[in-house]
Structure formats: structure tokens, C-alpha cells
Amino acid sequence: MRYYDKLIFELSKPGRIGFSLPHAGCPWTAAPAGACRPRQGSGGTTSVVGSEEIGEFCDSGKFSDSCDSLRGWRSRDGVLWRESKLELPEVSEPDVVRHYTNLSQMNFGVDTGFYPLGSCTMKYNPKINEEVVAQFNGLHPLQPARTVEGVKAIYDFMDKALAEITGMKHFTFLPCAGAHGELTGLMLMREYHFRRGDLARTKVIVPDSAHGTNPASAAVCGLDIVVVKSRPDGLVDVEDLKPLLGPDVAGIMMTNPNTLGLFERDIKEIAELVHACGGLLYYDGANMNPLLGVVRPGDMGFDIMHLNLHKTFSTPHGGGGPGSGPVGVAEALVPLLDVPRTSGFHGNFGIILRACAYILMLGRENIKMAGPLATLSANYIKESLKDCYKLPIQAVCKHEFVFDGLAEPNGVTTLDVAKRLLDYGFHAPTIYFPLLFHQALMVEPTETESLETLDAFIDVMRKIAQEALQDPELLHSAPHNTPIGRPDETTAARQPILKYQN
């Protein structure tokens, strides 16, 4: 990867164009229908270089004899029309292609290398998934049902497949991301209580190890957050939970396995306790991958859950989105499923198509291997590195696990380790999360990485542990082989520059 220091605005030169559009018609002030003539004055509508001298060819416009043209908007009642100049780049098509190709070459993706990013499930994104989408691009979201029977069949298939995989009854596909799913799911939880006339349930219980989105989603949904503590072994403390339960509890949000990669083995007791107090159980599907093909959240007693199709079901992350976070519910909540309208149309259909392709390729045969192989990879790395990285919890993990920094740090932090990994061609793990450990370094390998890749990662992690002892400065100043060095984030936040200014 090399450094390329341009923004598209810096390639701009007045008169260049990158578009290819039909010709627009004639000026507003022109003669009546059928008598259109070239216009005098400013503003090129058809010229290749967009300059005024070339003149107008309004007779080649599609509607040239209608003469209802927008061109004259400046001369019309000015109130409704834009007066300020529109600053956009003026660049040719080859400029655009080369610029964005150069930008892409400063990026790292799953196709570039290993991404051991905890809680993000960066598995391989199959290429066939991308291929199937294009043939649905032309469908308008409000088309009548009888013109989109294929779409309906795909949604029905996905509903049934996800219900089978998770043990839930039905799904809504409106949410566009995991956090959006959490919010939609919590709305369903509240609606369930509202409909029973039970308005006192305004609290939701969230473990201290939960993803940050859990309390944030609960707050957006108008719920008060009550934190339940983890025990030293990393699992939810059932004894701490008991006194929190009561008639004001709407439910609990759980991630299982939790963010330490540990299976909450007391889940049955927790489910019974929460149900007994009248609350519901929400399953945060961010960590569903190790259970794929092995355990169904519905069987564990969860009432509501979301899935991250961009994690467990292989759709690409796209640099931060679009994703998809369908929400599944148990039988009792099915009638409410369409109540919360949290996005504009039918959810991210293009992403749902990709996940559908993945499920069909997995099939009932391969699905049973997905979770176990992800779990195998995580435990393999954990066992191979626990002598040089601090492993606070020794138990068998699921798809991910957490180190608490180097065994012998010698002043080297988790951030230093993460940045040094970039030099060796690996993405960094998730760092400083979960908050339970000060030097948290959270690794999730997924089932699509080969033994050779895992071994290469393990070798590099060991090498970095050695470097920490021999040359800590090398790590403090890492990375050294990336397009840029460590940025000054303090200045970025103190004096924010958030747009290009010429």
C-alpha cells in the first residue's frame, strides 16, 4: 500500500465533465411549443467541454417542442430556487476512475488479508453473492405485490430459514444494521408490555460486558438501563441479577456467547428468573457465529433477537455498511412484528439477497460445520499464544477470546501491539473492549481462515511479544510500513476539520 495524497476536489478544473446524459431542452423564456431556438446567454447544456462558446443544440433535446424548461429558473420567481453556487468537482471520467482506484489501494479488506477483529466476524464474502444482486436492481419498492412475486418468495425463504436456524418464529427485515435491530427489538419488547397494559416496565437489564450498542439502543428506546455484574469467571452473576428483577423490568439483553467469547451456561436459570418476573429476553446476535449450526437462541428461552447478516451470513461490511439486522421473535410477539417502522421500505433487500445466497450455498450439510470451525480457530489461537499474552480467563472459548495485553509488557500497550500487527500485513484485533480489562485485545478468527493463515498470525504475535522485550520503541512508534503513520487524533478532535476547504 502506498500513500496517495489527493482529494477529488483537487483534480477539479472548470469545463471538465464526467457525465454522459441526453441533451436537455430549451430555455424557459423561449418561444411557444414547436418554435424552439438556440438560446443566447450563459450556461452550457450540451457542449462537450461545457463552455459557452460552443453554443446550444436545444433542438436535440427530448422535449424540445414542449419548452417547459428548468433552464430559466433564475429568471423566474426566485423564491424556490437555489441561489448559492454548487461546489462539486469538475473532473473527467478517467480522473474519477484513477482517483478512486488509488484510494482503494490505501485500504485493507477481507480479500487483502486476515482480519482477527473481535465481535465483528470478518468472514470471507463469497463472490457469487455479489453476482446475484444486479438482476433485482430495477424493482421499485412500492411495486404492487403481483409484480414482485420473486421478491416475496425470497423474503419468505429467508424468514423460514432464519427461523429454523435460530428457533424463533418469524422475522422482520426492516432493520439496516445490528444496532438498528436492537432498537427495533426493544421497541417490540416495549410494545408487548404496552399491549398488556403494563406500563411500569421501564427498565432493561444489561450485563457490564455488553456491547456499547446495548445500553445506547435501550436509551434511544426510552428505557432505563440497569447493569448486572459479571463474576470473576466472566459470566453474568446470577446472584447479582436476582435483586434487580421486579415488576419494573421490561427485560434483559444478553449476548451469548458473551463479549469474552464465553457461553453463558446459566442461561436456563436466567431465562426462568426473567420470565418469572414478567420480563422478556433479548438476544444480541452479534456473537451468533459460533452457534451457527449448533445452538438456537429460541431453544435457550430468548423471546426477541437480531442477526447481523453482515457478520454471521457473510455479506460484505462495505467499510462500515450497509448491513442488515433482521429481528426474530417468539410466537407471542408475532402479531406485533410489523408495528415498529424503523426504516423506509423493506430493509436492505440487496443485503438480504446476499445472505440468501450464502444460506443456499451452505445448505443443511455445511451449516453444522460453520460454528464449530469458527470455535476451533479461536481456541487454536488462544492456546498457541497464552504463554506470551495475558489470558485472564482460561476456559474454552467460543468464536472469540480476550487477552489482557502482553504477559511481559515492558511498557508496550495493546495499542502498540495492534499498530505493529499492521506492519506485518494483518488487521488489528478489537482493542480496549470489553471494558472489563484495561489492555483488552479481542481476537475472532472465523471459520474461513486456513490453518496456515492462523499459524502466520500466531508467529507474528509471538514475534511482537519478543520485540516488546528487545526494542519497545519500535512498537511505540508503529506502524512503519503502512501508507501513513499514527495520526494526531487529539488535534483532530480539538479543532475539527470535517470538510474540504479550498
Partner 1 sequence: MQPSPSRMGAFSYFPHTGEDIRHMLDRIGVRSLEDLYSDVPSEFIHRGEYDLPSALSEVELRAWFKDMASRNTELKVFVGAGAYDHYTPSVIPYITSRSEFLTAYTPYQCEISQGTLRYIFEWQTMICSLTGLDVANASMYDGPSAAAEAMRMCVACTRKRNTVVASSGLLPNVLETLRTYARYSGINLVETWEVHEAVAEGTLDLAGVIVPSINRFGMIESHLGLADLVHEAGALLVEYCDPSALAVVKTPAEWGADIAVGDGQSLGVPLCYGGPYVGFMACRSEWMRKLPGRIVGQTVDAEGRRVFVLTLQAREQHIRREKATSNICSNESLIALWCTVYLSLMGPEGLRRVNELCYEGAHYLHRELMATGLFEDPFEGREFLKEFALRPLCDAAKLQQALLDEGFFAALQTEEGYVTFCVTERRTREEIDALVKVVKEAAL
Partner 2 sequence: MSKIIEGLLYSESHEWVKVEGGIAVIGVSDFAQSEMGDITYVDLPSEGDSFEAGEEFGALESVKASSELYCPVSGEVVEVNTELEASPEKVNEDAYGAWIIKVRLSDPAELESLMDAAAYAAIAK
Q: Which is nearer to partner 2, 199 or 493 (CB)?
A: 493
Q: What residues does 284 pair with on adjacent strands? A: 306
State which of positions 319-358 bind partner 1 (CB under 8 A).
319-323, 339-351, 353, 357
Determine if 469 is a binding residue for partner 1 (CB under 8 A): no
Determine, following the binding rule CB under 8 A, whether residue 489 of this chain makes contact with partner 2.
Answer: yes
101 binds, among partner 1, partner 2, none (CB under 5 to 8 A by kind): partner 1
Q: How many residues in the shown chain lie near partner 2 by CB under 8 A? A: 6
Question: Of 124-163, which residues contact partner 1 (CB under 8 A)?
Answer: 124-126, 128, 130-144, 147-151, 153-154, 161
Select the residue interacting with partner 1 from 29, 394, 466, 477 (CB under 8 A).
Answer: 477
Smallest separation, CB 492 to partner 2 (Å): 8
DSSP-assigned letter for residue 39: P
Residues 420-439 that bind partner 2 (CB under 8 A): 432
Q: Which does 57 bind (CB under 5 to 8 A by kind): partner 2, partner 1, none?
A: none
Nearer to partner 1, 87 or 408 (CB): 87
- What's the closest the beta carbon of residue 213 comes to partner 2, in angstroms? 16
Q: CB atoms < 10 A from the CB of 243, how many?
A: 8
Report yes or no: 29 and 68 within 8 Å, Cβ to Cβ: no
How far apart CA 349 and CA 169 sit, in angstroms, is: 20
Query: CA 216, CA 182: separation in Å to the nearest integer?
Result: 10
Span of 83-91, 375-383, 467-475, 490-498 interacting with partner 2 by CB under 8 A: 490-498
- Grid cell 481462515 is found at 449
Per CB under 8 A, the segment of 84-92, 243-251, 328-336, 463-471 that binds partner 1 is 84-92
24 lies in the binding site for partner 1 (CB under 8 A): yes
Binding string, residues 184-213; x marks residues near partner 2 by CB under 8 A: ------------------------------
* Pairing label, strands 401-404, 440-443: antiparallel
Contacts (CB under 8 A) with partner 2, residues 257-286:
none
Residue nearer to partner 1 on the CB measure, 435 or 469: 435
3 state DSSP class of 250: strand
CB of 487 to partner 2, least distance (A): 10
Report how far residue 430's alpha carbon sits from residue 260's, in angstroms, rounded to the nearest whole number. Answer: 12
Q: By CB under 8 A, name the one of 29, 60, 75, 107 that touches partner 1.
A: 107
Q: Which is nearer to partner 1, 361 or 469 (CB)?
A: 361
Kindly identify the residues of this chain, within the stretch 225-264, that bind partner 1 according to CB under 8 A: 225, 262-263
Count the neighbouring beta carbons within 10 Å of the beta carbon of residue 70: 11
Residue 5 or residue 489: which is nearer to partner 2 going by CB?
Answer: 489
The least CB distance from residue 119 to partner 1, in Å, is 11
Subset of 388-407 contacting partner 1 (CB under 8 A): 395-396, 398
169, 170, 198, 220: residue in contact with partner 1 (rule CB under 8 A): 220
Q: Could you tell which of partner 2, partner 1, none binds residue 126, using a CB distance below 5 to 8 A set by kind?
A: partner 1
Q: Can residue 497 be called a binding residue for partner 2 (CB under 8 A)? A: no
Using CB under 8 A as the criterion, what x/- string covers residues 353-382 for binding partner 1? x---x-xxxxxxxxxxxx-xx-xxx-xx--
DSSP track, 347-406: S-HHHHHHHHHHHHHHHHHHHHHHHHHHHHHHHHHHHHHTTTB--S--S--SS-EEEESB
Using CA atoms, how far apart are residues 46 and 11, in angstroms rounded to an integer?
Answer: 22
Cis bond leading into 126, ω under 30°? no
Query: What cell numbers appear for 432 in the block?
Result: 480496549
Residues 117, 119, 123: CA angle, nearest 5 degrees: 60
What is the Cα–Cα distance from 213 to 178, expressed in whole angstroms? 9
**Is 79 or 276 the residue whose CB approaches partner 1 more closely?**
79
- Nearest to partner 1 of 245, 358 (CB atom): 358
Choose from partner 1, partner 2, none: what does 226 bind? Cβ within 5-8 Å by kind.
none
Q: In this structure, are residues 307 and 181 in contact, taking their beta carbons and an 8 Å threshold?
A: yes
Q: How far, in Å, CA of 257 to CA of 355, rounded?
A: 22
Nearest to 249 by CA among 217, 201, 207: 201
- Tell me the C-alpha distance between 429 and 117, whole Å: 4
By CB under 8 A, is residue 466 in contact with partner 1?
Answer: no
User: Quick one: what does residue 55 bind among partner 1, partner 2, none, with the CB cut-off 5 to 8 Å set by partner type?
Assistant: none
Angstrom distance (rounded) from CA 402 to CA 259: 8
Q: Which amino acid is at 499?
A: K
The minimum distance between CB 271 and partner 1, in angstroms, equals: 11
Which residue in the set 217, 255, 258, 287 belongs to the binding site for partner 1 (CB under 8 A)? 217
Q: Determine the Cα–Cα distance for residues 403 and 393; give it in Å rounded to an integer.
A: 8
Least Å distance between CB 156 and partner 1? Answer: 11
Q: How many residues does the chain have?
A: 502
Apex 25 CA angle, 21 and 29, nearest 5: 145
**Residues at the contact surface with partner 2, assessed by CB under 8 A:** 432, 489-490, 492-494
